[in-house]
Amino acid sequence: MLPGRPDVVVLDPPRQGAGREAIEALAASGARRIVYVACDPAALGRDAGYLRGLGWRLRSTRGLDLYPETHHVEAVAVFEPAG
């Protein structure tokens, strides 16, 4: 981890998502916002649950069809501390 507190963290994990350990580290980083880019909605949902349990809220989400004529959808979700 770099010294200081980040304003925004952009997370683009592999298809299986970030996982609990990475989410816990990011939630504790002091960032004011986490932008999560996901290629698997199920992994995003799981990691969003971890963030919610750590006191974060989903501010916005958007699905993007970056691969037309396939079943793949990218999602961008923005999280902020709930307090």
Tell me what pLDDT residue 1 has: 56
Q: What does the pLDDT read at residue 60?
A: 98
pLDDT at 2: 62
Architecture of 8-81 per CATH? 3-Layer(aba) Sandwich (3.40)
Rounded Cα distance between 68 and 51, Å, is 30
Could you tell me the mean pLDDT of each successive run of 10 residues in the chain, 83 residues long? 83 96 95 96 96 98 91 94 90
Which of these is catalytic: 31, 34, 38, 39?
39
Residue 39 a catalytic site member: yes
pLDDT of residue 4: 79
d(CA 27, CA 7): 12
What is the residue extent of each domain of the chain?
8-81
